[in-house]
Amino acid sequence: MAGSLLCPQDCRLRNVPSLMDVSRMGEILKSLGVSLSHQGDVLDIDASHISQTRAPYELVSQLRASFFVIGPLLARLGVARVPLPGGCAIGARPVDLHVRGLQAMGADVQIDHGTVYASIPGSNKRLKGAKIYLDYPSVGATETLMMAATLADGETIIENAAQEPEVADLANFCRAMGARIRGAGTNTIIVVGVPSLHSVDYSIIPDRIEAGTFLIAGAITRSEISLAPVVPDHLAAVIAKLQAVGVDVYEEGLNRLRVVPGDRHIATDIETLPYPGFPTDMQAQFTALLALSEGDSIITETVFENRLRHAAELVRMGADIRVKGSNAIIRGMPFLSGAPVNATDLRASAALVVAGLAAQGTTVISGLHHLDRGYDNLEGKLLKLGAKLKRIHSNAAPVSEPTGITVDTAKG
């Protein structure tokens, strides 16, 4: 959605989910003068008449991804003013890599009172190609700089770039608009700037984290689930760890996976890493599965320093988990018990849902605003698989604001 700002014509995106984050990003684009229409899974975006170069703080503070607008705005209009971003409280996610990269491309960037002011000095208002080395393979910095480079004057080389499938998908989207990008999906991305981009009709890749969450749901409830459409290669690390636990995952057909739980699940160790390593966004869900696996497991979180808060909520359900720094030591238990729990972030909410599916009794999960940021109708999809759950509303909140999910023990 941020990349569509690069195009002075209309763009159509397909396979767009109905998520709170999508709605918030839409509001941010509208505040800049962009026209949007979201019908089903099709999102039409017309950024031909951008009237503002400043994103509003009240919207940006709710969504980390909103900071992505700085690269396209700067590249196309020569100026951008974006407040420092918000999002899930899972740890520090500084934007210094974004800023240094834009400065290397000739931008004047200042941070004042919580807002990043970026502009291109000179008369032609085009960024200049540069060689950029990222100290860390940040997805956000890679995507921001890659988008900015599409309209720069000359060649930009981004080294130690993030290799996530989402980076390659964004590159493919930009290429479909006429950008010249190669190497996306590897650790070196080369972008040759072009004067302008054109209209596109583009289908987004399936969400590998949602797919991984359903694989965990099948494993933890000892249920066979067939899942499509997925890109199996994007889930290689997750599938490998499921197989280490004793869960069989195989390709059932084109872009289709089937999960077949084993007779017993055994402990395994996990270390989160940038792609193609094990994804931090699957760590919480896997913690729930390991809490019901025989033996002792250790999860090491290396990507975010505050992403083990779900452990305390799983302990409320009977899990044996000790957190020491960035490590969670898990001793598998024979069962979990339903309990009232609170989702602390997006993936923690999914972990508590899958744990509730396997627990004995009823689990009530609050903090659903996190869940709705990244899962489209999760409860509806689980209901179709036979899960027993329902969404409830607090008397203190408007009906439009769901506050919890009640999950009963799933039976296969």
Give the domain extent around 135: 3-203
The rounded distance, in Å, linking the Cα atoms of 102 and 123 is 18
Structure tokens at 327: 């490590």
Residues 220 and 195 both lie in one domain? no
pLDDT of residue 395: 60
Picking from 203, 231, 253, the residue at the C-terminal end of a domain is: 203
Residues 109 and 82 both lie in one domain? yes
Indicate yes or no: pTM above 0.85.
yes
Residues 318 and 174 both lie in one domain? no
Q: How many domains does the chain have?
A: 2
How many Å is the maximal CA-CA distance in the chain? 69
pLDDT per residue as tens digits for the range 30-54: 999 999 999 999 999 999 999 899 9
First-to-last CA distance in the chain? 38
pLDDT per residue as tens digits for the range 230-247: 999 999 999 999 999 999
Give the residue ranges of the chain where pLDDT is below 50: 87-92, 397-402, 410-412
pLDDT of residue 86: 55
E strands in 85-237: 108-112, 115-119, 131-133, 155-159, 180-182, 188-192, 200-203, 225-227
pLDDT per residue as tens digits for the range 55-65: 888 888 888 78
Residue 223 CB neighbour total at 10 angstroms? 19
Query: Reduced to 3 states, what is the DSSP secondary structure of residue 32?
Result: coil
Name the residues annotated as catalytic: 88
Residues 158 and 218 both lie in one domain? no
Residues 193 and 125 both lie in one domain? yes
Say which CATH number the domain at 79 has: 3.65.10.10
Residues 402 and 256 both lie in one domain? yes
The rounded distance, in Å, linking the Cα atoms of 66 and 139 is 14
pLDDT of residue 409: 66
Residues 238 and 133 both lie in one domain? no
CB neighbour class for 49 (10 Å; exposed up to 12, middle 13-18, buried from 19):
exposed
Picking from 175, 203, 231, the residue at the C-terminal end of a domain is: 203
Residues 150 and 294 both lie in one domain? no
Picking from 203, 229, 248, the residue at the C-terminal end of a domain is: 203
Residues 231 and 180 both lie in one domain? no
Residues 35 and 177 both lie in one domain? yes
Say which residues have a Cβ less than 8 Å from residue 60's Cβ, sequence separation at least 6: 28, 66, 67, 82, 83, 84, 85, 86
Structure tokens at 188: 């070196």
pLDDT of residue 124: 84
pLDDT per residue as tens digits for the range 69-102: 999 999 999 999 998 875 444 344 568 899 999 9
Residues 147 and 228 both lie in one domain? no
Residues 192 and 46 both lie in one domain? yes
pLDDT of residue 412: 43
